[in-house]
Amino acid sequence: MPEAGELAERRGSGRLVVSALAHNKMAIAGLCLVALMVLFCFVGPLLYPTNQVTVRLDLSELPPSGAHPLGTDASGYDVLGRLMEGGRSSLELGFAVAVATTVIGTLYGAFAGFIGGVVDALMMRVIDTFLAIPGLVLLLILVSMFTPNLLMIIVLLSLLSWLGVARLVRGEVLSLRTREFVQAARMMGGSRRRIVLRHLVPNAIGVVLVSGTFTIADAILAMSTLSFLGLGIPPPHADWGTMLSDGLNYLFDGYWWLVYPPAVILIVTVVAFNLIGDAIHDSLDARLQRP
Amino acid sequence: MRKIRQLTLTTAMVALTMAVAAGCSGGGGSGSGAIGNGGAGSKKPVKAGGTVTIAEVGATPNFVFPLEPVTNTDGWNVNLTQPLWPALVYAGDGSQSVVNPDESLFSNITWANGDKQLTIDLKHWNWSDGQPITSRDFTFVYNLIKANASNWSNYVQGLFPDDVAGVSTPDANTVVINLTRSYNPTFYEDDVLSNIPLLPQHAWDKSSDAGPVGNLDETSAGAKAVYAYLQKEGGDMATFATNPLWQVVDGPWKLSEFRTDGYYSYVPNKQYSGPDKPVLAKVVDTPFTTDTAELNALRAGDTLDIGQLPLNDVKQASALEQNGYSVANIPVPGVAMIQPNFYNAQVGPEIQQLYVRQALEYLINRQQIVSKVYSGYADPGNGPVPLTATGPWASPLEKSGGPYPYSPSKATALLQAHGWKVVPNGTTTCQSPGTGANQCGAGITAGEGLTFQLAYSSGQASMDEQNAAIKSSEAQAGITINLHSEPFNSLIATVGACSASSHPAATCGWQLADFGYDPYPLYPAGDGFFNSTGSNNQGGYADPKMDQLINATEYGSGTSAFFAYEDYAAQQLPWLWLPNQNGLLVYRSNLQGVTPLNPFSGGLNPEMWGFTS
Amino acid sequence: MTAYLVRRIGQAITVVIGVMVLTFILVHLEPGSAARATLGTRATASRIAIFDNVNGLNQPLVEQFWTYVKQVCQGNFGTSYSLQQPVSTLIAQRLPKDAVLLGLSTVLALAIAVPLGIYQAVRRNGVGDNIATVAAFVLYSMPDFFFALLLIAVFSVQLHLLPPLAPRATTVAGILADPRALVLPVVTLTLVSVSGYSRYMRSSAIDALAQEYLRVVRAKGLPERLVLMRHVLRNSILPIVTIVGLSAPSIVAGAVIAEEVFNYPGMGLLFFQAATSHDYPILLGSTLVVGIATVVGNLAADTAYSLLDPRIRYVST
């Protein structure tokens, strides 16, 4: 399935991406926000250590105070500390899914696109089949098959999201394969390996980067949907999505610290990743227009 | 052995509905919170007419014939059918855990022959088509059930109709049943006859739409044909409200609309013979998939007259009261528990040790869970019987806090006394394996830890909070609880019944399971739960003394026999006791008669309601 | 072209068969038994046996699959275990509800996204573009359940302007007869999907704006408004049409979150409840319907695209 941007000709490689990002204000904002979140979640707990394991019902639902800047939740966990803890697993989830998805999808797509023929057709039918089953149904069946823990959710979300990447990469490889410079390399007797490594991979990397960035954002969102549907990870695990869907019970109770902090931090993070992905996408698009 | 739990499945689901969809009414209420049980209040004049809309969360009936096949355990069908065809013995009267004299179809039951024979005098009531209700209607039901017992969802082997030696009808309003053994009349009336409706023989005793009504049920083959016909019609959701069969009723209501998505409505049965004749013109049951949507509708305040308030949202009570609603706190007749699996390959040997179960129970801070997780609106769960919801059956031991009030020090001492090295917030290990009095016990090896997986149903924040709290408090004695949550149906799909004789790894991989709670019928017998062959005894607990004590509560009478069973169960911990949350019922303040609500009735008794003028 | 179509249809059939096999395997891989999930914790061995026998679950899997295929070929999707109704009846009840809800919100989303995308492309990297970008991403990044509940909190609970529940009616006419109740669910679904479409629109409009011939057109003195209307819009809308075509199957799959929050039981909730209660007939039947819709949607979109865009050649795909 060809997509808007990829049809047109594309020259150069992902090298331009970095310089393009540096010139895009939105992308810089996104990068800064992501860096901030990473600091908050991974360095924060060192500066602000809290107990996120032991339930303290005697401290439940306290409003913000000096001891608990963002109050406590129904189990008596410090909300600020829990945002760090939850953010860590949300970010880990996002990055892990993005990496797994990208690796599997790229290899699968590149292989199918490069080999072509019957193998390619077969490989694509497998993808079509998975894509023809509603993602949520697949996810539900898979989630109920396995004990939900972070690793399992990472594996399941990756299983579902590599399909799109594989298609994109294959499309990219197909269109590149027919391009003059690859054909030239072939005619000059370049080995397949060399063609793939020197020409195809660098050229496809932009597409992969874009989809990888969006995958991080989507995985974090998908986790919150799972929690809302009651398919999340049981306590004492925390992630932003679970905190938000639990906190929504208090939307009308005036316990704003259980609703809005996880909502804001989740949305800001997802927006940040989208801005980055979008900027990369834009920079690839932009190159198309320079004749 | 008989398995009352199967029989009480219907009752079970009634109460479940109540808790899930509407809440229940009860006595004093153990809640420390501000919401009372509503109470009857002072009666104001009501005006005739009006429509009441009730929210039914996740409760969609799909079968209208009151005798369901075994493959249909929808559970909500009784909500639909009870207002149409009330049970012979109608359980619950307002908040009182007693038989309802007004709604029941009998006027008197006398026991004779050493409690082996009972004589039922039927009231001189009429069906909605004007025909009298007679003893023939009882024999019709009996014949249908007898010929089709194996395909009747309430059937329990050994119990009705297996235990019936003969039925005779000396006159049109008298039924004499001879039983094969003596029973405790309270048990038999409250838990057995309360599941049997009367059905209109004069209208239903046929095997096709056009077929003539006769006495087909008197032969086994005929009864099978009639049953098959009624089953087929009873499952055709499109015609529930239009099929003439289902318009012949003896309850206060008639079905006027039924949509396949679960929306249905009643109008009064003008011929209803009972004293509580409907005042309202219409009652609508409207289905909700989740309580989120239902609660939003209550908050917006213009579509619903009756709904439930999830305990997580108890703080919304005052906002709802400003919207013109009242909120009642209703104890639920049931027992909440963690079922331990005595035959799990990994932890079975540990669970079989009473001291391990005792330590686990000592470490559950039930009082704190009641006050913090359930805002005070829960029964403390001191033992198998709730303190108020089932009337007089809570023993002095339970009322005084039960045998195992929260005590980490006692738990630690128990483990140490049996050869464990207790490491608070670490891993407690068995130091002296063996079967001696001060050793860990059979099958437990040196160095083994106490690690259990607790599976519970997901989607309810209070369950997460409760079980996270249990995980934390168990850690104080170095016991590790790993939590595993799944949607209810997924959970029960993987929890098989395990016993000494059969515990295949495929269905006995579970270790501790928290299903929520199990509801009680009017007489809160332990049969089915704790007897060795009980159908809801998933974990395989077996104790001959327990079996004997349970039998004593059903064959013989008296509170002392009941308390003996109850206290023994409380102490032996066939299940780990947990707090059982109350229902919070939300109703329009100008709707009179909703409270005190009958927690044993599926239909909420809207015949008692009316808008104040 | 004919050969291409024949090949594509062949592929489509392969995929549908793949869907049937795959869902059948998946459904039966799920641990636990359908009988237990349906009959509850108290199910005795004999009841489980009756259930399995009635539903053919005691047959070997291959046999069950074959029975299922034969049934499907006769147009019979079986009967739901828990809802006790034919799956085809259930789908016939649920599908139109989603078609109304998702159809309306898709149309609205496009009505916003197309002009917005063109505006953003014209004002590329200007303040307006950046604000629209951030706004679109914020909407996209809000979990839909959160967004829906916020709308309800404001418009239903605080202001009492709109009902918090979607229309109760079960027919399309009945649903449309209650437009006030449709507002919040439609707005929710529209706003969360605007961003996807507007991003596409923006990038394809940027492509269109970069076309050489526009200089010629402009040089001829055509007003800028007409340039945008006649040329940019027409050239940039093609990919959007394709995207809409490709997303058509999602209408069949439903929107579980919106259905849950607004109490509007459609296909999404049907799937969700079936998946959590081992209701095999519903899972198999509805997945097959969605699978077919997806395949048909893809086929239509690809064919339309290849007809309209000469750059696509019918190479092995």
- Subunits that touch chain A (at least 3 Cβ pairs < 8 angstroms)? B, C
Select from A271, A278, A288 the residue whose CB has the most chain C CBs within 10 Å, as the one to mutate to test that interface: A271
**How far does A45 lie from chain B, in Å, by closest CA?**
21
- Asked whether the predicted pLDDT for residue A4 surpasses 60, the reply is no
Q: Residue B455 forms beta bridges with which residues?
A: B484, B513
Task: Output the pLDDT for position B51.
Answer: 95
Higher pLDDT, B508 or A135: B508
**Range with top average pLDDT, A93-102, A133-142, C295-304:** A93-102
Q: What is the mean pLDDT of residues B525-550?
A: 90
Closest CA to B454 of B491, B489, B414, B419: B491
What is the CB neighbour count within 10 angstroms for residue C227?
Answer: 17
For residue B252, the one-letter residue type is: P
User: Is the Cβ of C262 closer than 8 Å to some Cβ of chain B?
Assistant: yes
Q: What is the mean pLDDT of residues B228-257?
A: 94
Task: Output the pLDDT for position B402.
Answer: 93
Query: Which of C31, C39, C164 is facing B494, going by the closest CB pair?
Result: C31
Closest CA to B125 of B99, B77, B86: B86
Query: Which of B299, B458, B475 is facing A230, going by the closest CB pair?
Result: B458
What contacts 24+ positions apart, CB below 8 Å, involve C163-166?
A: C163/B297, C163/B300, C163/B302, C163/B303, C164/B293, C164/B296, C164/B297, C164/B299, C164/B300, C164/C262, C165/B293, C165/B296, C165/B297, C165/B303, C165/C262, C165/C263, C165/C264, C166/C101, C166/C258, C166/C259, C166/C262, C166/C263, C166/C264
Residues of B within 8 A of A254 (CB-CB) are 315
Give the model confidence (pLDDT) of B306-324 as tens digits: 998 888 888 888 889 988 9
Which pair of structure tokens corresponds to residue B311? 């305990």
Interface of B with C in 36-65 (CB under 8 A): 60, 62-63
User: Is the Cβ of A8 closer than 8 Å to some Cβ of chain C?
Assistant: yes
Task: Output the pLDDT for position A192.
Answer: 66
Q: What is the mean pLDDT of residues A113-137?
A: 83
Query: Which of C149, C170, C276 is facing B259, going by the closest CB pair?
Result: C170
Task: Output the pLDDT for position B17.
Answer: 37
Give the model confidence (pLDDT) of C167-185 as tens digits: 888 888 888 988 999 999 9
What contacts 24+ positions apart, CB below 8 Å, involve A8-13?
A: A8/A288, A8/C207, A9/A179, A9/A288, A10/A203, A10/A206, A10/A284, A10/A287, A10/A288, A11/A287, A12/A287, A13/A202, A13/A203, A13/A205, A13/A206
- Asked whether the predicted pLDDT for residue B25 surpasses 50, the reply is no
Task: Output the pLDDT for position B405.
Answer: 95
Q: What is the mean pLDDT of residues B158-166?
A: 91
Task: Output the pLDDT for position B27.
Answer: 32
Instruction: Give the helix/strand (H/E) hosting A167.
Output: helix A150-177
For β-strands B480-486 and B576-578, DSSP reports them as unpaired
**How far does B221 lie from chain A, in Å, by closest CA?**
44
For residue A62, what is the DSSP state? P
Task: Output the pLDDT for position B215.
Answer: 94
User: Is the Cβ of C203 closer than 8 Å to some Cβ of chain A?
Assistant: yes
Q: What is the mean pLDDT of residues A168-184?
A: 74
User: Is the Cβ of B532 closer than 8 Å to some Cβ of chain C?
Assistant: no
Q: Please give the Cα distance from B331 to C155 (Å, whole number).
A: 35
Give the model confidence (pLDDT) of B119-143 as tens digits: 999 999 999 999 999 999 999 999 9
Task: Output the pLDDT for position B312.
Answer: 80
Size of interface B-C (CB pairs under 8 A): 137
CA atoms within 13 A on the CB side of B469: 29
Q: B275: burial class by Cβ within 10 Å (0-12, 13-18, 19+)?
A: exposed
Residues of C within 8 A of B497 (CB-CB) are 45
Q: Which of A166-170, B406-410, C139-143 has the lowest mean pLDDT?
A: A166-170
Query: Which of C33, C165, C276 is facing B487, going by the closest CB pair?
Result: C276
Q: How far does Cα C111 stand from its chain's mean position?
A: 18
Task: Output the pLDDT for position A147.
Answer: 67
Q: What is the mean pLDDT of residues B161-176?
A: 94
**How far does C48 lie from chain A, in Å, by closest CA?**
21
Task: Output the pLDDT for position B34.
Answer: 62
Q: Please give the Cα distance from A112 to A169 (Å, whole number).
A: 9
Q: Which residues contact A7 (CB under 8 A, 6 or more apart)?
A: A175, C309, C311, C312
For residue B444, what is the DSSP state? P
Task: Output the pLDDT for position A144.
Answer: 66
Size of interface A-C (CB pairs under 8 A): 161
Band (pLDDT 50/70/90 cuts) for residue B192 is very high
Give the model confidence (pLDDT) of A117-126 as tens digits: 888 888 888 8
User: Is the Cβ of B469 closer than 8 Å to some Cβ of chain A?
Assistant: yes
For residue B112, the one-letter residue type is: A
User: Dihedrals φ, ψ of A165, to 5°?
Assistant: -60, -45
Task: Output the pLDDT for position A133.
Answer: 82
Give the model confidence (pLDDT) of B390-399 as tens digits: 888 999 999 9
Q: Which of A13-27, B6-20, B186-200 has the lowest mean pLDDT?
A: B6-20
CB contact under 8 A, A55 and B469: yes
Write down the ipTM of this complex.
0.84
- Asked whether the predicted pLDDT for residue B612 surpasses 70, the reply is yes
- Asked whether the predicted pLDDT for residue B38 surpasses 90, the reply is no
User: Is the Cβ of A241 closer than 8 Å to some Cβ of chain B?
Assistant: no
DSSP code string of B47-64: ES--EEEEEEES------
Select from B298, B309, B315 the residue whose CB has the most chain A CBs within 10 Å, as the one to mutate to test that interface: B315
Q: Which residues contact B241 (CB under 8 A, 6 or more apart)?
A: B255, B256, B257, B258, B264
Residues of A within 8 A of C312 (CB-CB) are 2, 7
Q: Which residues contact A189 (CB under 8 A, 6 or more apart)?
A: none
Task: Output the pLDDT for position B502.
Answer: 85
Task: Output the pLDDT for position B371.
Answer: 92
Q: Please give the Cα distance from B223 to B229 (Å, whole number).
A: 10
For β-strands B512-519 and B451-457, DSSP reports them as parallel
Band (pLDDT 50/70/90 cuts) for residue B490 is confident
Interface of B with A in 495-524 (CB under 8 A): none
DSSP code string of B328-393: EEE--SEEEEEEE-TT-TTTHHHHTSHHHHHHHHHT--HHHIIIIISTT-EE---SSS-SSTTGGG
Task: Output the pLDDT for position B37.
Answer: 63
Q: Which residues contact A130 (CB under 8 A, 6 or more apart)?
A: A138, A160, A163, C22
Residues of C within 8 A of A142 (CB-CB) are 26
Q: Please give the Cα distance from B98 to B8 (Å, whole number).
A: 16
Q: Do residues C204 and C238 make contact, with C-beta atoms less than 8 angstroms apart?
A: yes
Q: Alpha helix locations (H) across B190-219?
A: 201-204
Q: Do residues A209 and A280 make contact, with C-beta atoms less than 8 angstroms apart?
A: yes
Band (pLDDT 50/70/90 cuts) for residue A197 is low
CB contact under 8 A, C203 and A282: yes
Residue B565's alpha-carbon distances to A124, B363, B546, C24, C29, in angstroms, are 66, 24, 7, 48, 43
What percent of chain B lies above the pLDDT cut of 90? Answer: 63
Q: Please give the Cα distance from C238 to C308 (Å, whole number).
A: 8
Task: Output the pLDDT for position B493.
Answer: 85
Q: Please give the Cα distance from A275 to C133 (Å, whole number).
A: 8
User: Is the Cβ of C287 closer than 8 Å to some Cβ of chain A?
Assistant: yes
For residue C142, the one-letter residue type is: M
Residues of B within 8 A of A246 (CB-CB) are 461, 464
pTM here? 0.88
Q: Which of A254-268, B289-303, B399-413, B466-480 has the lowest mean pLDDT?
A: B289-303
Q: What is the mean pLDDT of residues A65-69?
A: 89
Query: Which of B316, B465, B472 is facing A253, going by the closest CB pair?
Result: B316
Q: Which of A193-202, B342-351, C211-220 has the lowest mean pLDDT?
A: A193-202
Band (pLDDT 50/70/90 cuts) for residue C317 is very low
Q: What is the mean pLDDT of residues A121-150?
A: 80
Task: Output the pLDDT for position C5.
Answer: 80
For residue B479, the one-letter residue type is: I
User: Is the Cβ of B372 closer than 8 Å to some Cβ of chain A?
Assistant: yes
> B410-443 b/e with 16+ CB inside 10 Å = b?
bbbebbeebbbebeeeeebbbeebeeeeebbbee
- Asked whether the predicted pLDDT for residue C84 surpasses 90, the reply is no
Query: Which of A121, A228, A270 is facing C145, going by the closest CB pair?
Result: A228
Q: Which residue of A has its CA nearest to C292?
A: A132
Closest CA to B391 of B605, B105, B600, B115: B600
Band (pLDDT 50/70/90 cuts) for residue C274 is confident
CB contact under 8 A, C160 and B294: no
Select from A52, A54, A55, A227 the residue whose CB has the most chain B CBs within 10 Å, as the one to mutate to test that interface: A55
- Asked whether the predicted pLDDT for residue C316 surpasses 50, the reply is no
Higher pLDDT, C141 or A208: C141
Interface of B with C in 166-185 (CB under 8 A): none
- Asked whether the predicted pLDDT for residue C82 surpasses 60, the reply is yes
For β-strands B610-612 and B580-581, DSSP reports them as unpaired
What is the CB neighbour count within 10 angstroms for residue C22?
Answer: 19
| Cis omega (within 30 of 0) for bond into B519 | no
Give the model confidence (pLDDT) of C194-216 as tens digits: 888 888 888 888 877 777 777 77
What is the CB neighbour count within 10 angstroms for residue C62?
Answer: 8
Band (pLDDT 50/70/90 cuts) for residue B417 is very high
Task: Output the pLDDT for position A149.
Answer: 83
- Asked whether the predicted pLDDT for residue B31 surpasses 70, the reply is no
